[in-house]
A and B are shown apart, each in its own frame.
Chain A
Amino acid sequence: MLFLAEWWDLRDLGNPVGKFLEVLGDHGPGWLPYVASGIIGCLAIVLFLVPSQMVIVWAERRLIGRIQARRGPNRTGPWGIFQTIADTLKLLAKEAITSRHVDRWVFWLAPVFIFVPGITVFAVLPFGEGMVLADLNVGVLFLAAVGSINAIIVFMAGWSSNNKYALLGAMREVSMLISYEVPQVLTLLGAVVFTNTMSLSGVVQWQDHYNTWLIFLQPLALVIYLISAGVEINRSPTDIAEAESEIVAGYHTEYSGIKFGFFYAGEYFAGFAIAAVVAALYLGGWTFWGLEEWVPGWLIFLGKLYLLFWLFIWLRGTLPRLRADQLMAFTWKFLLPLTLVNLFVGGLEVLIWQENDLSAGVALPVFAVINLALAVGLVVGWARFLGHAGPDSRPRRALLMKEVGAIVYGQES
Protein backbone atom coordinates (compact mmCIF):
# COMPACT_ATOMS: atom_id res chain seq x y z
CA MET A 1 0.00 0.00 0.00
CA LEU A 2 1.43 3.23 -1.05
CA PHE A 3 1.44 6.49 0.76
CA LEU A 4 -1.04 8.49 -1.22
CA ALA A 5 -0.58 12.19 -1.49
CA GLU A 6 -4.26 12.90 -1.10
CA TRP A 7 -5.27 15.32 1.61
CA TRP A 8 -7.47 12.75 3.31
CA ASP A 9 -4.60 10.31 3.76
CA LEU A 10 -4.15 10.94 7.42
CA ARG A 11 -1.26 8.59 7.80
CA ASP A 12 0.88 11.57 6.99
CA LEU A 13 -0.58 14.64 8.63
CA GLY A 14 1.40 16.76 6.25
CA ASN A 15 -1.16 15.92 3.57
CA PRO A 16 -4.15 17.84 4.88
CA VAL A 17 -1.90 20.63 6.09
CA GLY A 18 -0.17 20.83 2.75
CA LYS A 19 -3.48 21.01 0.95
CA PHE A 20 -4.60 23.80 3.24
CA LEU A 21 -1.40 25.75 2.68
CA GLU A 22 -1.78 25.29 -1.05
CA VAL A 23 -5.24 26.78 -0.85
CA LEU A 24 -3.88 29.67 1.19
CA GLY A 25 -1.07 30.28 -1.26
CA ASP A 26 -3.53 30.42 -4.13
CA HIS A 27 -5.76 32.90 -2.43
CA GLY A 28 -3.34 35.08 -0.52
CA PRO A 29 0.05 36.74 -0.52
CA GLY A 30 3.17 34.62 -1.01
CA TRP A 31 4.44 34.72 2.53
CA LEU A 32 1.16 33.49 3.99
CA PRO A 33 1.77 29.74 3.67
CA TYR A 34 5.11 30.01 5.47
CA VAL A 35 3.68 31.93 8.39
CA ALA A 36 0.62 29.70 8.49
CA SER A 37 2.68 26.52 8.51
CA GLY A 38 4.65 27.75 11.48
CA ILE A 39 1.53 28.70 13.35
CA ILE A 40 -0.17 25.43 12.57
CA GLY A 41 2.84 23.48 13.78
CA CYS A 42 3.03 25.32 17.08
CA LEU A 43 -0.71 25.07 17.62
CA ALA A 44 -0.60 21.38 16.88
CA ILE A 45 2.06 20.77 19.49
CA VAL A 46 0.22 22.75 22.13
CA LEU A 47 -3.09 21.15 21.23
CA PHE A 48 -1.50 17.78 21.60
CA LEU A 49 0.24 18.52 24.87
CA VAL A 50 -2.48 20.16 26.90
CA PRO A 51 -5.24 17.56 26.47
CA SER A 52 -2.63 14.82 26.80
CA GLN A 53 -1.58 16.23 30.09
CA MET A 54 -5.11 16.40 31.38
CA VAL A 55 -5.77 12.82 30.40
CA ILE A 56 -2.46 11.59 31.74
CA VAL A 57 -3.01 13.22 35.13
CA TRP A 58 -6.26 11.31 35.40
CA ALA A 59 -4.61 8.13 34.14
CA GLU A 60 -1.82 8.48 36.64
CA ARG A 61 -4.14 8.83 39.54
CA ARG A 62 -6.15 5.82 38.46
CA LEU A 63 -3.02 3.77 37.81
CA ILE A 64 -1.36 4.67 41.07
CA GLY A 65 -4.63 3.80 42.75
CA ARG A 66 -4.52 0.36 41.18
CA ILE A 67 -0.89 -0.10 42.23
CA GLN A 68 -1.96 0.75 45.76
CA ALA A 69 -4.84 -1.74 45.76
CA ARG A 70 -7.52 0.89 45.58
CA ARG A 71 -9.50 2.59 42.86
CA GLY A 72 -8.41 6.02 41.83
CA PRO A 73 -10.81 8.92 41.57
CA ASN A 74 -14.27 7.68 40.70
CA ARG A 75 -16.61 10.39 41.85
CA THR A 76 -16.21 13.19 39.35
CA GLY A 77 -17.86 11.62 36.36
CA PRO A 78 -17.79 7.97 35.29
CA TRP A 79 -14.43 6.55 36.30
CA GLY A 80 -13.49 9.99 37.53
CA ILE A 81 -12.68 11.35 34.08
CA PHE A 82 -13.45 14.93 35.03
CA GLN A 83 -11.03 14.84 37.94
CA THR A 84 -8.37 16.90 36.20
CA ILE A 85 -10.89 19.55 35.27
CA ALA A 86 -12.13 19.62 38.84
CA ASP A 87 -8.57 20.02 40.09
CA THR A 88 -7.81 22.78 37.64
CA LEU A 89 -10.95 24.65 38.60
CA LYS A 90 -10.02 24.27 42.24
CA LEU A 91 -6.55 25.64 41.64
CA LEU A 92 -7.94 28.54 39.64
CA ALA A 93 -10.32 29.41 42.42
CA LYS A 94 -7.66 29.41 45.14
CA GLU A 95 -6.31 32.61 46.55
CA ALA A 96 -3.00 33.43 44.94
CA ILE A 97 -1.08 34.55 48.00
CA THR A 98 2.06 36.44 47.16
CA SER A 99 4.35 37.29 50.00
CA ARG A 100 5.30 40.96 50.22
CA HIS A 101 9.04 40.62 49.86
CA VAL A 102 9.30 38.38 46.87
CA ASP A 103 11.20 39.45 43.82
CA ARG A 104 8.05 40.33 41.94
CA TRP A 105 8.93 39.91 38.28
CA VAL A 106 10.97 36.75 38.75
CA PHE A 107 8.32 35.28 41.02
CA TRP A 108 5.61 35.79 38.43
CA LEU A 109 7.64 34.70 35.46
CA ALA A 110 8.96 31.44 36.88
CA PRO A 111 5.72 29.47 36.59
CA VAL A 112 5.21 30.84 33.10
CA PHE A 113 8.66 29.85 31.91
CA ILE A 114 8.45 26.39 33.41
CA PHE A 115 6.61 25.33 30.27
CA VAL A 116 9.30 26.59 27.93
CA PRO A 117 11.72 23.65 27.95
CA GLY A 118 8.93 21.09 27.83
CA ILE A 119 7.16 22.56 24.86
CA THR A 120 10.13 23.83 22.92
CA VAL A 121 11.74 20.42 22.81
CA PHE A 122 8.78 19.16 20.80
CA ALA A 123 9.81 21.39 17.93
CA VAL A 124 12.50 18.96 16.85
CA LEU A 125 10.69 15.72 17.57
CA PRO A 126 9.41 13.81 14.58
CA PHE A 127 5.88 12.61 15.02
CA GLY A 128 5.93 10.87 11.69
CA GLU A 129 7.65 10.91 8.34
CA GLY A 130 8.21 14.54 7.59
CA MET A 131 6.02 15.66 10.50
CA VAL A 132 8.54 17.79 12.28
CA LEU A 133 8.08 21.42 13.08
CA ALA A 134 11.76 22.24 12.68
CA ASP A 135 13.96 19.54 11.27
CA LEU A 136 17.19 20.91 12.67
CA ASN A 137 20.27 19.00 11.73
CA VAL A 138 21.53 19.49 15.29
CA GLY A 139 18.37 18.27 16.91
CA VAL A 140 20.08 16.34 19.70
CA LEU A 141 22.15 19.36 20.63
CA PHE A 142 19.00 21.44 20.69
CA LEU A 143 17.40 18.91 23.02
CA ALA A 144 20.23 18.99 25.48
CA ALA A 145 20.51 22.76 25.41
CA VAL A 146 16.85 23.57 25.82
CA GLY A 147 16.30 20.85 28.36
CA SER A 148 18.83 22.37 30.69
CA ILE A 149 16.89 25.61 30.93
CA ASN A 150 14.85 23.80 33.53
CA ALA A 151 17.57 24.36 36.09
CA ILE A 152 17.41 28.12 35.66
CA ILE A 153 13.64 28.22 35.99
CA VAL A 154 13.73 26.18 39.16
CA PHE A 155 16.32 28.47 40.60
CA MET A 156 14.26 31.51 39.65
CA ALA A 157 11.34 30.07 41.54
CA GLY A 158 13.34 29.24 44.62
CA TRP A 159 15.35 32.46 44.76
CA SER A 160 12.50 34.83 44.24
CA SER A 161 10.43 33.26 46.99
CA ASN A 162 12.42 35.04 49.67
CA ASN A 163 12.17 31.89 51.73
CA LYS A 164 15.20 30.17 53.23
CA TYR A 165 13.71 26.77 52.79
CA ALA A 166 12.63 27.29 49.19
CA LEU A 167 16.13 28.43 48.40
CA LEU A 168 17.62 25.34 50.02
CA GLY A 169 15.28 23.16 48.01
CA ALA A 170 16.04 25.04 44.84
CA MET A 171 19.78 24.75 45.32
CA ARG A 172 19.56 21.04 45.98
CA GLU A 173 17.40 20.77 42.92
CA VAL A 174 19.77 22.75 40.71
CA SER A 175 22.80 20.75 41.75
CA MET A 176 20.88 17.59 41.01
CA LEU A 177 19.76 18.80 37.60
CA ILE A 178 23.19 19.95 36.57
CA SER A 179 24.77 16.70 37.67
CA TYR A 180 22.29 14.65 35.73
CA GLU A 181 22.77 16.66 32.54
CA VAL A 182 26.08 14.92 32.01
CA PRO A 183 24.96 11.32 31.68
CA GLN A 184 21.91 12.53 29.80
CA VAL A 185 23.93 14.17 27.06
CA LEU A 186 26.46 11.38 26.88
CA THR A 187 23.78 8.77 26.40
CA LEU A 188 22.17 10.81 23.66
CA LEU A 189 25.55 10.89 22.00
CA GLY A 190 25.69 7.14 22.25
CA ALA A 191 22.78 6.96 19.84
CA VAL A 192 24.21 9.64 17.59
CA VAL A 193 27.47 7.76 17.25
CA PHE A 194 25.69 4.99 15.42
CA THR A 195 23.45 7.05 13.26
CA ASN A 196 26.00 9.65 12.25
CA THR A 197 23.36 12.38 12.33
CA MET A 198 22.10 14.61 15.10
CA SER A 199 18.81 15.31 13.42
CA LEU A 200 16.11 13.35 15.19
CA SER A 201 14.18 12.50 12.09
CA GLY A 202 17.48 11.37 10.60
CA VAL A 203 17.95 9.01 13.53
CA VAL A 204 14.50 7.56 12.99
CA GLN A 205 15.20 7.14 9.31
CA TRP A 206 18.45 5.35 10.10
CA GLN A 207 16.51 2.95 12.30
CA ASP A 208 14.03 2.48 9.51
CA HIS A 209 16.75 1.89 6.97
CA TYR A 210 18.59 -0.71 8.97
CA ASN A 211 15.35 -2.24 10.18
CA THR A 212 16.35 -2.16 13.80
CA TRP A 213 15.72 -0.08 16.85
CA LEU A 214 18.57 1.57 18.70
CA ILE A 215 17.39 -0.01 21.93
CA PHE A 216 18.96 -3.25 20.76
CA LEU A 217 22.24 -1.59 20.02
CA GLN A 218 22.43 0.67 23.05
CA PRO A 219 20.53 -0.91 25.94
CA LEU A 220 22.75 0.62 28.59
CA ALA A 221 22.34 4.08 27.13
CA LEU A 222 18.58 3.73 27.16
CA VAL A 223 18.43 2.71 30.79
CA ILE A 224 20.78 5.46 31.87
CA TYR A 225 18.90 8.02 29.84
CA LEU A 226 15.61 6.98 31.40
CA ILE A 227 17.12 7.31 34.87
CA SER A 228 18.79 10.66 34.24
CA ALA A 229 15.84 12.13 32.49
CA GLY A 230 13.56 10.86 35.23
CA VAL A 231 15.64 12.80 37.69
CA GLU A 232 15.49 15.88 35.53
CA ILE A 233 11.73 15.95 35.58
CA ASN A 234 11.47 15.56 39.35
CA ARG A 235 9.56 12.37 39.41
CA SER A 236 9.61 9.87 42.18
CA PRO A 237 11.85 8.08 43.15
CA THR A 238 13.85 11.22 42.77
CA ASP A 239 11.30 13.87 43.51
CA ILE A 240 13.40 15.52 46.14
CA ALA A 241 12.07 18.96 45.44
CA GLU A 242 8.51 18.12 44.58
CA ALA A 243 6.88 15.89 47.10
CA GLU A 244 7.31 16.53 50.82
CA SER A 245 10.97 17.35 50.79
CA GLU A 246 10.63 16.64 54.45
CA ILE A 247 10.72 20.13 55.84
CA VAL A 248 11.75 22.12 52.85
CA ALA A 249 8.64 21.98 50.74
CA GLY A 250 10.79 22.71 47.75
CA TYR A 251 11.17 25.49 45.30
CA HIS A 252 7.44 25.89 44.87
CA THR A 253 6.65 26.44 48.54
CA GLU A 254 5.45 29.98 48.14
CA TYR A 255 3.34 29.33 45.09
CA SER A 256 -0.35 28.83 45.59
CA GLY A 257 -3.28 28.38 43.29
CA ILE A 258 -2.82 28.19 39.58
CA LYS A 259 0.88 29.08 39.76
CA PHE A 260 1.42 25.82 41.57
CA GLY A 261 -0.80 24.23 38.95
CA PHE A 262 1.58 25.49 36.30
CA PHE A 263 4.54 23.87 38.02
CA TYR A 264 2.59 20.67 38.28
CA ALA A 265 1.60 20.75 34.61
CA GLY A 266 5.08 21.74 33.52
CA GLU A 267 6.42 18.62 35.12
CA TYR A 268 4.12 16.52 32.96
CA PHE A 269 5.11 18.37 29.78
CA ALA A 270 8.74 17.71 30.56
CA GLY A 271 7.85 14.08 31.13
CA PHE A 272 6.21 13.89 27.73
CA ALA A 273 9.25 15.46 26.18
CA ILE A 274 11.53 12.86 27.70
CA ALA A 275 9.26 10.04 26.67
CA ALA A 276 9.07 11.42 23.15
CA VAL A 277 12.84 11.72 22.90
CA VAL A 278 13.29 8.13 23.99
CA ALA A 279 10.60 6.98 21.60
CA ALA A 280 12.26 8.78 18.71
CA LEU A 281 15.85 7.95 19.45
CA TYR A 282 15.77 4.47 20.87
CA LEU A 283 12.43 3.00 20.07
CA GLY A 284 12.27 3.76 16.40
CA GLY A 285 9.98 6.78 16.38
CA TRP A 286 7.14 6.20 14.03
CA THR A 287 8.43 2.91 12.62
CA PHE A 288 7.15 -0.45 13.66
CA TRP A 289 8.54 -2.76 11.01
CA GLY A 290 5.87 -2.18 8.46
CA LEU A 291 2.88 -1.43 10.64
CA GLU A 292 3.17 2.24 9.72
CA GLU A 293 1.60 1.47 6.40
CA TRP A 294 -1.67 0.70 8.09
CA VAL A 295 -1.65 2.57 11.34
CA PRO A 296 -0.63 6.23 11.05
CA GLY A 297 2.97 6.72 12.11
CA TRP A 298 2.12 9.45 14.52
CA LEU A 299 -0.25 7.14 16.37
CA ILE A 300 2.56 4.63 16.76
CA PHE A 301 4.80 7.40 18.05
CA LEU A 302 2.19 8.55 20.52
CA GLY A 303 1.63 4.98 21.62
CA LYS A 304 5.32 4.61 22.43
CA LEU A 305 5.29 7.92 24.23
CA TYR A 306 2.43 6.93 26.47
CA LEU A 307 3.93 3.53 27.10
CA LEU A 308 7.09 5.14 28.40
CA PHE A 309 5.11 7.51 30.53
CA TRP A 310 3.32 4.53 31.99
CA LEU A 311 6.73 3.26 33.00
CA PHE A 312 7.35 6.51 34.85
CA ILE A 313 4.03 6.21 36.63
CA TRP A 314 4.88 2.66 37.61
CA LEU A 315 8.19 3.71 39.09
CA ARG A 316 6.56 6.48 41.03
CA GLY A 317 4.11 4.14 42.66
CA THR A 318 6.67 1.57 43.65
CA LEU A 319 9.99 2.95 44.76
CA PRO A 320 10.95 4.92 47.86
CA ARG A 321 12.86 8.14 47.51
CA LEU A 322 16.60 8.54 47.47
CA ARG A 323 18.40 11.12 49.52
CA ALA A 324 19.95 14.06 47.68
CA ASP A 325 23.55 13.22 48.36
CA GLN A 326 22.98 9.57 47.53
CA LEU A 327 21.57 10.71 44.21
CA MET A 328 24.67 12.77 43.50
CA ALA A 329 26.96 9.92 44.39
CA PHE A 330 24.93 7.70 42.11
CA THR A 331 25.41 9.88 39.10
CA TRP A 332 28.99 10.91 39.50
CA LYS A 333 30.36 7.59 40.65
CA PHE A 334 28.14 5.16 38.88
CA LEU A 335 26.37 6.55 35.85
CA LEU A 336 29.11 8.75 34.48
CA PRO A 337 31.80 6.08 34.10
CA LEU A 338 29.25 3.76 32.58
CA THR A 339 28.19 6.28 29.98
CA LEU A 340 31.78 7.05 29.09
CA VAL A 341 32.57 3.41 28.55
CA ASN A 342 29.39 2.98 26.57
CA LEU A 343 30.27 5.89 24.32
CA PHE A 344 33.77 4.64 23.80
CA VAL A 345 32.69 1.12 22.93
CA GLY A 346 29.99 2.45 20.61
CA GLY A 347 32.48 4.55 18.77
CA LEU A 348 34.84 1.64 18.48
CA GLU A 349 32.12 -0.54 17.04
CA VAL A 350 31.14 2.03 14.45
CA LEU A 351 34.77 2.45 13.50
CA ILE A 352 35.22 -1.27 13.01
CA TRP A 353 32.05 -1.41 11.00
CA GLN A 354 32.93 1.45 8.68
CA GLU A 355 36.57 0.66 8.25
CA ASN A 356 36.03 -2.94 7.37
CA ASP A 357 32.92 -2.25 5.35
CA LEU A 358 31.00 -5.07 6.95
CA SER A 359 27.45 -5.71 5.98
CA ALA A 360 24.88 -4.37 8.38
CA GLY A 361 23.06 -7.67 8.63
CA VAL A 362 26.16 -9.25 10.18
CA ALA A 363 27.62 -6.36 12.10
CA LEU A 364 24.57 -5.07 13.87
CA PRO A 365 23.41 -8.29 15.57
CA VAL A 366 26.95 -8.90 16.75
CA PHE A 367 27.12 -5.39 18.15
CA ALA A 368 23.76 -5.86 19.81
CA VAL A 369 24.91 -8.97 21.64
CA ILE A 370 28.20 -7.38 22.63
CA ASN A 371 26.49 -4.27 23.91
CA LEU A 372 23.96 -6.20 25.91
CA ALA A 373 26.65 -8.29 27.54
CA LEU A 374 28.65 -5.15 28.18
CA ALA A 375 25.66 -3.46 29.75
CA VAL A 376 24.94 -6.28 32.14
CA GLY A 377 28.59 -6.81 32.92
CA LEU A 378 29.30 -3.14 33.53
CA VAL A 379 26.33 -2.58 35.76
CA VAL A 380 26.97 -5.59 37.92
CA GLY A 381 30.72 -5.30 37.90
CA TRP A 382 30.91 -1.61 38.61
CA ALA A 383 28.35 -1.91 41.38
CA ARG A 384 30.42 -4.63 42.98
CA PHE A 385 33.55 -2.57 42.56
CA LEU A 386 31.97 0.39 44.27
CA GLY A 387 30.76 -1.83 47.07
CA HIS A 388 27.08 -1.36 46.47
CA ALA A 389 26.19 -4.98 45.90
CA GLY A 390 28.20 -6.17 48.83
CA PRO A 391 26.98 -8.28 51.73
CA ASP A 392 25.99 -5.12 53.56
CA SER A 393 23.21 -4.34 51.17
CA ARG A 394 21.72 -7.77 50.93
CA PRO A 395 18.43 -8.15 52.74
CA ARG A 396 18.52 -9.65 56.16
CA ARG A 397 16.13 -11.07 58.61
CA ALA A 398 15.90 -10.48 62.32
CA LEU A 399 17.32 -13.11 64.64
CA LEU A 400 14.71 -15.15 66.39
CA MET A 401 15.31 -15.87 70.03
CA LYS A 402 13.39 -17.92 72.51
CA GLU A 403 14.84 -16.64 75.76
CA VAL A 404 15.25 -13.14 77.04
CA GLY A 405 18.30 -11.51 78.47
CA ALA A 406 20.86 -11.94 75.72
CA ILE A 407 22.48 -8.95 74.06
CA VAL A 408 23.44 -9.55 70.45
CA TYR A 409 24.29 -6.02 69.43
CA GLY A 410 27.16 -5.91 67.00
CA GLN A 411 27.11 -9.54 66.08
CA GLU A 412 26.76 -10.52 62.48
CA SER A 413 23.46 -12.20 61.76
Chain B
Amino acid sequence: MSRALTGTELAEKVGRGFPGAVAEANEQWMTVGAEQLVAVATHLRDDPELDFRYLIGVCGVDRLDHFEVVYQLQSLSRNHTAVLKTRALDHQEPQVPSLAPVWQGAQLQEREVYDLMGIRFEGHPDLRRIFLWDGFPGHPLRKDWLGMPGGRHAGLGKFPRED
Protein backbone atom coordinates (compact mmCIF):
# COMPACT_ATOMS: atom_id res chain seq x y z
CA MET B 1 0.00 0.00 0.00
CA SER B 2 1.37 3.40 -0.90
CA ARG B 3 1.98 5.42 2.21
CA ALA B 4 0.86 8.99 1.87
CA LEU B 5 3.35 11.23 3.59
CA THR B 6 1.59 13.95 5.48
CA GLY B 7 2.39 17.54 4.81
CA THR B 8 3.76 18.02 8.28
CA GLU B 9 6.28 15.22 7.82
CA LEU B 10 7.42 16.67 4.55
CA ALA B 11 7.60 20.14 6.01
CA GLU B 12 9.81 18.84 8.73
CA LYS B 13 12.21 17.23 6.29
CA VAL B 14 12.26 20.18 3.94
CA GLY B 15 12.28 22.85 6.60
CA ARG B 16 15.75 21.87 7.71
CA GLY B 17 17.37 22.47 4.39
CA PHE B 18 15.20 25.35 3.21
CA PRO B 19 14.20 27.58 6.09
CA GLY B 20 11.23 29.76 5.33
CA ALA B 21 10.24 27.88 2.22
CA VAL B 22 7.22 26.14 3.71
CA ALA B 23 4.19 28.38 3.78
CA GLU B 24 1.64 25.92 5.08
CA ALA B 25 1.59 22.26 5.97
CA ASN B 26 -1.24 20.05 7.12
CA GLU B 27 -2.38 16.42 7.03
CA GLN B 28 -2.63 16.24 3.28
CA TRP B 29 -0.32 18.70 1.65
CA MET B 30 2.57 21.08 2.05
CA THR B 31 2.54 24.52 0.46
CA VAL B 32 5.83 26.07 -0.60
CA GLY B 33 6.47 29.61 -1.69
CA ALA B 34 7.14 30.23 -5.34
CA GLU B 35 10.69 31.54 -4.89
CA GLN B 36 12.06 28.34 -3.40
CA LEU B 37 9.84 25.96 -5.32
CA VAL B 38 12.47 24.66 -7.72
CA ALA B 39 15.03 24.17 -4.98
CA VAL B 40 12.58 22.32 -2.76
CA ALA B 41 11.41 20.16 -5.65
CA THR B 42 14.96 19.29 -6.59
CA HIS B 43 15.64 18.35 -2.99
CA LEU B 44 12.53 16.18 -2.88
CA ARG B 45 13.64 14.42 -6.01
CA ASP B 46 17.27 13.89 -5.11
CA ASP B 47 17.13 13.18 -1.41
CA PRO B 48 17.72 9.43 -0.98
CA GLU B 49 15.23 9.14 1.86
CA LEU B 50 12.43 10.83 0.01
CA ASP B 51 13.33 9.85 -3.56
CA PHE B 52 10.34 11.46 -5.27
CA ARG B 53 11.56 10.67 -8.76
CA TYR B 54 8.12 10.27 -10.24
CA LEU B 55 5.79 13.19 -10.71
CA ILE B 56 2.27 11.82 -10.87
CA GLY B 57 0.44 14.92 -11.96
CA VAL B 58 0.23 18.67 -12.06
CA CYS B 59 -3.06 20.43 -11.52
CA GLY B 60 -4.11 24.02 -11.22
CA VAL B 61 -6.96 25.19 -8.98
CA ASP B 62 -8.56 28.60 -9.11
CA ARG B 63 -9.18 29.74 -5.54
CA LEU B 64 -10.91 32.96 -6.52
CA ASP B 65 -8.27 35.30 -5.10
CA HIS B 66 -5.19 33.30 -5.93
CA PHE B 67 -4.22 30.26 -7.95
CA GLU B 68 -2.88 27.03 -6.57
CA VAL B 69 -0.72 24.57 -8.45
CA VAL B 70 -0.82 21.08 -7.00
CA TYR B 71 1.94 18.54 -7.64
CA GLN B 72 1.34 14.92 -6.74
CA LEU B 73 4.61 13.10 -6.16
CA GLN B 74 5.49 9.45 -5.93
CA SER B 75 8.53 7.50 -4.99
CA LEU B 76 8.82 4.21 -6.82
CA SER B 77 11.50 2.64 -4.69
CA ARG B 78 10.03 3.62 -1.32
CA ASN B 79 6.39 3.51 -2.43
CA HIS B 80 5.20 6.67 -0.75
CA THR B 81 3.33 9.64 -2.11
CA ALA B 82 3.13 13.30 -1.21
CA VAL B 83 1.32 16.42 -2.29
CA LEU B 84 3.22 19.64 -2.91
CA LYS B 85 1.44 22.89 -3.54
CA THR B 86 2.43 26.36 -4.46
CA ARG B 87 0.52 29.57 -4.81
CA ALA B 88 0.40 32.18 -7.49
CA LEU B 89 -0.86 35.23 -5.69
CA ASP B 90 -1.57 37.60 -8.56
CA HIS B 91 -4.96 36.63 -9.91
CA GLN B 92 -4.65 38.62 -13.13
CA GLU B 93 -1.21 37.49 -14.27
CA PRO B 94 -0.25 34.47 -12.21
CA GLN B 95 3.29 33.25 -12.44
CA VAL B 96 5.06 30.29 -10.96
CA PRO B 97 8.49 28.78 -11.65
CA SER B 98 8.34 25.76 -13.88
CA LEU B 99 9.25 22.32 -12.62
CA ALA B 100 9.86 20.98 -16.11
CA PRO B 101 13.66 21.06 -15.60
CA VAL B 102 13.20 18.92 -12.49
CA TRP B 103 10.66 16.42 -13.82
CA GLN B 104 10.22 16.28 -17.62
CA GLY B 105 6.76 14.84 -17.05
CA ALA B 106 5.67 18.33 -16.07
CA GLN B 107 6.24 19.66 -19.58
CA LEU B 108 2.94 18.81 -21.19
CA GLN B 109 0.96 19.17 -17.99
CA GLU B 110 2.24 22.69 -17.32
CA ARG B 111 1.33 23.62 -20.86
CA GLU B 112 -2.16 22.39 -20.14
CA VAL B 113 -2.40 24.42 -16.93
CA TYR B 114 -1.15 27.48 -18.79
CA ASP B 115 -3.62 26.94 -21.57
CA LEU B 116 -6.68 26.40 -19.45
CA MET B 117 -5.90 28.61 -16.46
CA GLY B 118 -3.43 31.15 -17.66
CA ILE B 119 -0.71 30.49 -15.09
CA ARG B 120 2.65 31.25 -16.67
CA PHE B 121 5.50 28.92 -15.84
CA GLU B 122 8.88 30.60 -15.89
CA GLY B 123 11.61 28.43 -17.20
CA HIS B 124 9.39 26.11 -19.17
CA PRO B 125 11.19 25.23 -22.42
CA ASP B 126 8.18 25.61 -24.67
CA LEU B 127 5.19 27.32 -23.08
CA ARG B 128 2.45 27.36 -25.71
CA ARG B 129 -1.22 26.61 -25.63
CA ILE B 130 -1.86 22.96 -26.14
CA PHE B 131 -5.58 22.31 -26.43
CA LEU B 132 -6.91 25.64 -27.57
CA TRP B 133 -5.61 27.57 -30.51
CA ASP B 134 -3.26 30.49 -30.20
CA GLY B 135 -5.69 33.31 -30.54
CA PHE B 136 -8.24 31.99 -28.09
CA PRO B 137 -9.48 34.76 -25.85
CA GLY B 138 -8.98 34.01 -22.22
CA HIS B 139 -8.38 30.92 -20.18
CA PRO B 140 -11.49 28.80 -19.80
CA LEU B 141 -10.98 26.99 -16.51
CA ARG B 142 -10.83 30.21 -14.54
CA LYS B 143 -13.86 30.72 -12.39
CA ASP B 144 -14.54 34.13 -13.91
CA TRP B 145 -14.45 33.09 -17.55
CA LEU B 146 -17.91 33.02 -19.12
CA GLY B 147 -20.82 31.84 -17.07
CA MET B 148 -22.17 28.48 -18.07
CA PRO B 149 -24.97 28.27 -20.67
CA GLY B 150 -27.07 31.38 -20.43
CA GLY B 151 -24.40 33.80 -19.34
CA ARG B 152 -22.58 34.36 -22.59
CA HIS B 153 -20.74 37.52 -23.36
CA ALA B 154 -21.31 39.32 -26.60
CA GLY B 155 -18.32 39.79 -28.82
CA LEU B 156 -17.26 36.15 -28.92
CA GLY B 157 -19.32 35.42 -32.00
CA LYS B 158 -16.27 35.40 -34.24
CA PHE B 159 -13.22 33.54 -33.04
CA PRO B 160 -9.83 34.78 -34.19
CA ARG B 161 -7.99 32.50 -36.62
CA GLU B 162 -4.80 30.70 -35.93
CA ASP B 163 -2.04 31.87 -38.23
Q: Which residues of A contact B (CB under 8 A)?
A: 404-405, 407
Measured CB to CB, the closest approach of chain B to A266, in angstroms, equals: 42
Question: Closest 6 interchain pairs by CB?
Answer: A405-B77, A405-B76, A405-B79, A404-B79, A404-B76, A407-B76
Size of the chain B interface, CB-CB below 8 angstroms: 3
Which residues of A are found within 8 Å of B77, using beta-carbon distances? 405
Measured CB to CB, the closest approach of chain B to A343, in angstroms, equals: 56
Which residues of B are found within 8 Å of A407, using beta-carbon distances? 76
CA distance A405 to B51 in the complex (A): 12
CA distance A404 to B77 in the complex (A): 8
Please list 6 pairs of residues, one from A and one from B, whose beta carbons are closer than 8 Å in the complex, sorted by A's number.
Answer: A404-B76, A404-B79, A405-B76, A405-B77, A405-B79, A407-B76
Which residues of B are found within 8 Å of A404, using beta-carbon distances? 76, 79
Residues B65-103 near A (CB distance < 8 A): 76-77, 79
CA distance A407 to B79 in the complex (A): 14
CA distance A231 to B55 in the complex (A): 48
Measured CB to CB, the closest approach of chain B to A10, in angstroms, equals: 71
Which residues of A are found within 8 Å of B76, using beta-carbon distances? 404-405, 407
CA distance A407 to B53 in the complex (A): 13
CA distance A232 to B80 in the complex (A): 59
CA distance A407 to B75 in the complex (A): 13
Which residues of B are found within 8 Å of A405, using beta-carbon distances? 76-77, 79
Which residues of A are found within 8 Å of B79, using beta-carbon distances? 404-405
Residue of B nearest to A407 (CB): B76
CA distance A407 to B51 in the complex (A): 15
CA distance A405 to B79 in the complex (A): 8
Measured CB to CB, the closest approach of chain B to A208, in angstroms, equals: 70
CA distance A361 to B46 in the complex (A): 81
CA distance A97 to B35 in the complex (A): 61
Measured CB to CB, the closest approach of chain A to B53, in angstroms, equals: 11
Residue of A nearest to B79 (CB): A405
Residue of A nearest to B2 (CB): A404
CA distance A405 to B76 in the complex (A): 6
Measured CB to CB, the closest approach of chain B to A172, in angstroms, equals: 33
CA distance A248 to B65 in the complex (A): 52
Measured CB to CB, the closest approach of chain A to B1, in angstroms, equals: 11
